[in-house]
Structure 1
Amino acid sequence: MARQPKPYYRRAQKRWVCTIDGKRITLGEDKKQAFEKYHGLMLDRQAVRAELCTLNQLAQAYLDWVAQNRKQPTYDKHRHYLKSCIEALGKTMKPGSLKPHHLTTWTNKGTWNCTTRNDAITIVQRMLNWSVEQGYLAASPIQKMKKPKAKRREIVYTPEQWKQIRSHATGPLIPLLDFMWGTGCRPKEARTLQAKHVHDELIIFPPDESKGEADSRVIFLTPETQSIVAPFLAHRRAGVLFVNSRGNPWTKDSIKSRLTRISEKVGFRVIAYGARHSYATNALIRSVDTVSLSHLMGHKDTRMINNYAHLAQNVEFLKTQARAACGLQPR
C-alpha cells in the first residue's frame, strides 16, 4: 500500500507543510489547524488544486481565455487591472489566502476613484468565477465582497449647451458630433461606422461587431442624420466614414483630446458619451416610452435607460410631470 503523506514541520520556515502529488503545500504555523487543513485537502482533491496554483497562474490562464473569446479592448482592460493586482499581492499568493482586505488595500490608491476601484475588483471577481467554472477552484474566496459603488457619469447637455459645444468644433469633428447627437449611438459606433453598415434608413452592425456580440445593433436614421451620412457614402465606399483632417479614423484618444480643448472654451466638461446621455434624456422628456428608447439605444431591456436618463436635472419637466400625476393641467 502506498504511504500516505502526512504533515511535517519545517523549522527553517516555521510552518507545517505536506506533500501531495509531488507538490509541497503550506499548512500554517498552528499544528492543530495545519492537520485540519490537511485532512480537508485529502477529502477534497479540488481544494488541492486550489492550493497548488497561484493567483498569478489563474490570471494568466484567464487572460489567455479572454484573448481568444473577447475583443482586444476588453483584454487590455482586464490585463491592466490583473497585472496591477498581482504586482500588489505578489506572484506566490494562493487563492485560498485571498481576503477582501487584500483587494481593499490594493485599490485604495489616491489616483483611483470609487468607479475605478469597482472596475478593478469586478475584474478580479470575474477571473475567480471563471476559475470556478473551469474547475480550478471550488468557490471564489471573495464572492460576497462588497465593492465601492460606481458613480454614474452625470453629464447631460441641454440643446443650448450642445450649440455651444458645436460652435467650437471645427472641420471633420462637426459631422461626427452631429451624428452622435442625432442618433444617440455609442462613440465607438460612430467612429467605426462604414458604408457596408448603412442600409437606407438603417445602420446595422452584425453581432460580431456589436457590443456583447450577441445580436445585431440597429441604429435608426432620421432624414437629418441621413443627410449627415450621405456625403461620406458618396466618397468613401471602403473604410470608416468619419475620419479626421488627415484622413485617418478617429480614435477614442483623439476625440477626447479635441473635446478637452472645447471644455476649456465652454467652461464645462465635454465628453463624447454626453451626446448619448443627452439623447436618452431628451427622448424621455419628449415622451418617448422606455421600451422604444431601449431599442433605439441598443439595449436588451429598459434597465440601462436609467443610467442615461438623468431627468432629475430637468426641474421644469418634473414639475409638469408632478402636476400630470395629480390630474392637473400643465401651467
Structure 2
Amino acid sequence: MPRQPKPYLRKQTNSWYCSIGGRQISLGKEQEAAFEKFYELMGDREQIASELCTLYELSQAYLDWCESNRSPATYNLHLHYLKSFIGATGRRMRPSQLRVHHVVKWHEGLGVGSTTQGNAVSIVQRMLNWAVEQEYLKRNPIKGMRKPKQLRREVFYTREQWKEIRKHATGEFCDLLDFLYLTGCRPLEARTIEARHLHDDLVIFPTNEAKGEREARVIYLVPPAKSILDRLAKQQPDGVLFRNSRGRPWTKDAIKCRLTRISSKVGFRVIAYGARHSWATHALSEGGVDPISVAHLMGHRDTTMVSRVYSHLSRNTHFLREQARRAVSQAQDLEADTSNS
C-alpha cells in the first residue's frame, strides 16, 4: 500500500514541504499554516494541479497554443513579453506563489511607457486566463489586477496640417500616406495589402488575415485610393504593394522613422495612426457620416471606439456651432408641427 503524503520539515531551508506525484510543494515556514495548506491541497485535487506546474511550464504550453492558433505577429509579441516575465519571476515560481507585486515590479522595470506596460500585463493575464480555461489552473492568481493606464492617442490633423505633412513626404512614401488618409484603414492593413486582396473597388482580407480573425475585413476604396492600388498592383503582382525606393515592404519602424523626420520639419507630432483618426474625425464632423457607418468603414464591430473620436470634435468649434444650430432647428420644426396639428 503506497504511503500517504504528509508535510515534512527541511532543515536546510527551515520550511515545510510535501511530495505529491513526485514533485515537492512548498507549504511555507510556519507549521500550523503549512498543515492547513496541506489539508486544503489534499481536499482539492484541482489546486494540486496548479501547485505541480510552474509559470514557465504554463508559458511554454500557452506559446505552443498561440503558435498554432494565432498570427505570427501575435505569437512573436507574446513570446517577447512572456520570456521577459519568466526571466523576472524565475522558472521555478508556481502560479500559487505569484502576487500582484511580482507583476508590478516586472512591468515597471521594462523601461517603456504606460501604454506598452499595460499591453505587456494584458499578455500575462491572457496566459493565465487561458490556463484556467484549459484547466491547468483553478483560478487566475492576479485576476482583477489594476493595469497601467492606457494613454489614448489623441492625434489628428486639420486639413491645413495634413497639407504640411504631405508637402514634406517624398518618393514612394507619398502613396502610403495618401492611401491612409483616403481610407482611414489601419497602418498594418495598408502595409500588408497584396494584389490578391483587390476586388474592384474593395480590399478584402479573409478572416484568417483580418484583425481578431472573427470576420473578413473590407476596405472601401474611393477613386483616388483605387487608382493608387491599381497602379501598384501592375508594378507588383506578387507580394505586398506598398514598398520603398529599394523595393522593400514598408515596416513599422521604417514608417516611424520617416514620420519622425517629418515631425521635426512641421513642428508637431506626426504618427501613422493620426491619418486614421483624422479620417474618422473629418467623416463625422465635415462629412456628416453617422457613427455606425464610420465604425464599419474603419473595421470596428461596434461604435465604442468611434465614440471616443468625438473627443476630437470638441476642438472643432465650427462643427459644434453647426450641431447647436441643427438642434434648435429640429426643435423648432417639431414645435411647429405640433402647433399645426
Please confirm whether the aligned pair reaches a TM-score higher than 0.5, indicating the same fold: yes
Alignment of 1:1-331 (within 5 A): 1-109=1-109, 111-285=111-285, 286-309=287-310, 310-327=312-329
SS in 2 for 1:270: coil
Encode CA deviations 1:158-184: one digit per residue, 9 max, x unaligned: 111111111000010111111110000
Deviation at residue 308 of structure 1 after TM alignment: 4.2
**Percent of matched pairs sharing the same residue:** 55
Deviation at residue 240 of structure 1 after TM alignment: 1.9
Larger helix proportion of the pair: 2
Deviation at residue 149 of structure 1 after TM alignment: 2.0
Q: Which residue of 1 aligns with 2:336?
A: none
- The alignment yields a C-alpha RMSD, in angstroms, of 1.7
Deviation at residue 194 of structure 1 after TM alignment: 1.4
Deviation at residue 313 of structure 1 after TM alignment: 3.0
- Give the structure-1-normalised TM-score: 0.95
> Structure 2 counterpart of 1:289, which letter?
D
Deviation at residue 327 of structure 1 after TM alignment: 4.4
CA contact (8 A) 1:276 1:308 kept: no
> Structure 2 counterpart of 1:131, which letter?
A
> Structure 2 counterpart of 1:317, which letter?
F
> Structure 1 counterpart of 2:318, which letter?
E
User: How many aligned positions are there?
Assistant: 329
CA contact (8 A) 2:291 2:307 kept: no
Structure 2 gaps of 5+ residues are: 332-341
Deviation at residue 143 of structure 1 after TM alignment: 0.8
Encode CA deviations 1:121-145: one digit per residue, 9 max, x unaligned: 1111100001111111000011111
SS in 1 for 2:9: strand
Deviation at residue 110 of structure 1 after TM alignment: 7.5
Over 3 Å counting, the alpha-carbon distance change for 1:110 and 1:194 in structure 2 is closer
Alpha-carbon separation, structure 2, partners of 1:207 and 1:328 = 43
Alpha-carbon separation, structure 2, partners of 1:315 and 1:325 = 15
Alpha-carbon separation, structure 1, partners of 2:125 and 2:212 = 19
CA contact (8 A) 1:152 1:307 kept: no
Alpha-carbon separation, structure 2, partners of 1:213 and 1:170 = 34
> Structure 2 counterpart of 1:290, which letter?
P
Encode CA deviations 1:258-296: one digit per residue, 9 max, x unaligned: 111111111111111111111111111022111111111
